[in-house]
Amino acid sequence: MNDFGTLLTENPNLFIGVFVGVLALFLVVFIIIKAVDGAKKKKLKLQMAELVFDAAVRPASKFVTDLQFSGYKIYSVNNKEPVVVGKSVFAPEGSCVVELEYIDTDYATSHRSMTTLHGRQTLELTVRLGAQCKISFDDQSRTFKVMEK
Q: What is the pLDDT of residues 34-46, one digit of tens each?
A: 888 888 888 888 8
% pLDDT > 90, the chain: 11
Cα 79 from Cα 119, distance rounded (Å): 17
Residue 62 confidence class, pLDDT cut points 50, 70, 90: low
Residue 65 has pLDDT above 60, yes or no: no
- For the beta sheet containing 143-148, the strands, ordered from the edge strand earlier in sequence to the opposite edge, are 83-85, 88-91, 49-53, 132-138, 143-148
Of 109, 117, 4, 17, the closest CA to residue 60 belongs to 117
Q: What is the pLDDT of residue 25?
A: 95
What letter does residue 87 receive in the DSSP assignment? T
Cα 103 from Cα 19, distance rounded (Å): 37
Q: Let me know the angle formed at the C-alpha of 47 by 44 and 48, rounded to the nearest 5 degrees.
A: 80
Residue 109 has pLDDT above 80, yes or no: no
